[in-house]
Structure 1
Amino acid sequence: MASSTSTSVEVRSQAFQTEFEAICRDIQGSVLPNILTPWADDDGTATDSCVLGPSIDGGMPERLVAHLKNNLVNHSAFDGGDFQDWNVIRPQ
C-alpha cells in the first residue's frame, strides 16, 4: 500500500508533467534547432556573438518560467539561486 506522501508526490509529478507537456506543445514552433544561432541586440542589430542552442525564439516564455519556478524546490544550482536567470539569453 502506497503511503500518502508517495501518492501526493505522484499526483504532483503528474500535474507538473501534464502542464509542462502542454507548454512544450504550445511553444514547439518557437524552438530554434540551430546549435549556433547568431546573436542580435534587442533592436535587431547583428553582433559578432552567437547563442548555443537549441534556443527559444524570444527567450523562455513567461508561462514556462512561472511553471518551473513554482514547482522547483531547490534553486541553489542556478545563478544566485534564482531560476528567473534562465530566462536571460547570454552571448557566448
Structure 2
Amino acid sequence: MRKHVVTSASVEARSQVFQTVFEDICQEIQGSVLPDIVAPWAHDDGVSSDSCLLGPSVEGGMPERLAVHSKDNLVDLSAFD
C-alpha cells in the first residue's frame, strides 16, 4: 500500500484550485444573494417558522454546484483537535 504524502506545495495548489472555482461560482450566483442581515426562515415546503436566518443568504438555498464543490473538497481537520 502506498502512502499519500501531502506536501505544502500540493496543499497550496489544491487551495488555489478550490479558491478559483469557489470564486467563479460566487460570481455566477451574485445576483441571487439576498443582502438582508436577518431574514425569516421558511421550511422547504414554504411554511414559515419562528426562526430567522442571518444573512447574506442565497435565494433558493445553496446552489448545487457550490454544494458539490464544497463536499468534494472537504478536508479532515480532526488531527488538529
Fold match by TM threshold 0.5: yes
Higher deviation after alignment, 48-57 or 23-32: 48-57
Q: 1:24-55 deviations in whole A, cap 9, x for unaligned? A: 00111111110111234545455554322111
Distance (Å, rounded) in 2 between the aligned partners of 1:75 and 1:10: 16
Query: SS in structure 2 opposite 1:64?
Result: helix
Query: SS in structure 1 opposite 2:31?
Result: helix
Query: SS in structure 2 opposite 1:51?
Result: strand
Higher helix share: 1
CA RMSD of aligned residues (A): 2.3
Distance (Å, rounded) in 1 between the aligned partners of 2:10 and 2:77: 21
Distance (Å, rounded) in 1 between the aligned partners of 2:69 and 2:60: 18
Identity of aligned residues (%): 67
How many correspondences in the alignment?
A: 73
Give the gaps of 5 or more residues in structure 1. Answer: 77-92
Residue 24 (structure 2) aligned to one of 22, 25, 33: 22
- Cα distance 1:75–1:67, how it changes in 2: closer, same or farther (>3 A)? farther
Give the gaps of 5 or more residues in structure 2. Answer: 1-5
Q: Which TM-score applies when normalising by structure 2?
A: 0.71
